[in-house]
Amino acid sequence: MVTFMVYSNRRRNHIHIIRQYNNEDMEYTGTRLVIFLKKKGKLIYDFDDFKEHKYKNPKDKKNYKSKWKIQPCSIEGIIKKTMTNCSEDEKYFMEHIIYESDKIDIEDYIDKVLLEENLSITS
């Protein structure tokens, strides 16, 4: 499923990947890929059986376990950040990954990120 939405956040263009698991048994349910394009909006791609869920706005939550951490990235010039959190009802556990760059256009690294994350958005 692909959704296109208006994106008003001030953040730079970036790719956000969310891998979702059942919190009870850690069984993988699905992945959501969100491509944030500051001037155009965001593209959302759901893979496998990703379940939409309610979550607290990170600005409101006081969960000290869910902080973004910079990780090594094999793609030159790209910053990779990770964090984990749970859905509001604690049914789902999520691993979040953000790829971004202040030097490279998103169009120039999106294919490398998709390859690294083993995702494909072409039919």
What SS3 string covers 18-31?
A: EEEEECCCCCEEEE
- Over residues 67-112, the pLDDT tens digits come to 789 999 999 999 999 999 889 899 999 999 999 998 999 999 999 9
Residues 6+ apart with CB under 8 A from 41: 4, 5, 6, 7
Is position 123 within any domain? no
The predicted model gives 49-53 an average pLDDT of 88
Whether the pLDDT of residue 123 is over 70: the answer is no
Does the pTM surpass 0.95? The reply is no
The predicted model gives 49-77 an average pLDDT of 74
Asked whether 16 and 98 are in contact (CB, 8 A), the reply is yes
Is position 121 within any domain? no
Is position 122 within any domain? no
Helix (H, G, I), strand (E, B) or coil at 7: coil
Range of the domain at 57: 2-116
Is position 109 within any domain? yes
Is position 60 within any domain? yes
- Over residues 5-44, the pLDDT tens digits come to 443 335 689 999 999 999 999 999 999 999 999 888 899 9
Total of domains in the chain: 1
Is position 71 within any domain? yes
Helix (H, G, I), strand (E, B) or coil at 105: coil
